[in-house]
């Protein structure tokens, strides 16, 4: 595709699909998802409820997954 249309089209062709995903997600994701009414609780209480361990483990696992997949290419 890059040889025939150019590398810019590889990014431009994704725009309609991204817009469709955005519209579908706006209808599929419930509006009450997340911390319930965090304005009353405050920012510090909301940050205490954040899952730091899970976020760190997910970031590390995705990093190693990408590094493993890249090493298969070489």
Cα torsion 39, 43, 47, 50 to 10°: value is: 20
pLDDT for 39 equals 58
| Residue 55 confidence (pLDDT) above 70 | yes
- Looking at residue 47, its pLDDT comes to 74
Contacts of 2 (CB under 8 A, 6+ apart): 9, 10
Residue 18: pLDDT over 70: yes
Instruction: Tell me the pTM.
Output: 0.44
Q: Where are the domains of the chain?
A: 1-33, 35-74
User: Mean pLDDT over residues 18-45, rounded?
Assistant: 77
| Tokens standing for residue 44 | 């510090």
Q: Is the pLDDT of residue 45 over 90?
A: no
The pLDDT of residue 51 is 86
Counted residue by residue, the chain has a size of 74
38 pLDDT above the threshold of 60: no
């Amino acid at each position: 595709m890059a040889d025939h249309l150019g590398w810019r089209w590889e990014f431009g062709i994704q725009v309609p699909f991204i817009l469709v995903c955005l519209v579908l997600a706006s209808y599929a994701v419930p509006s009450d998802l997340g911390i319930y009414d965090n304005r009353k609780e405050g920012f510090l209480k909301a940050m205490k409820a954040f899952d730091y361990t899970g976020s760190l483990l997910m970031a590390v696992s995705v990093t190693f997954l990408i590094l493993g997949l890249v090493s298969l290419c070489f």
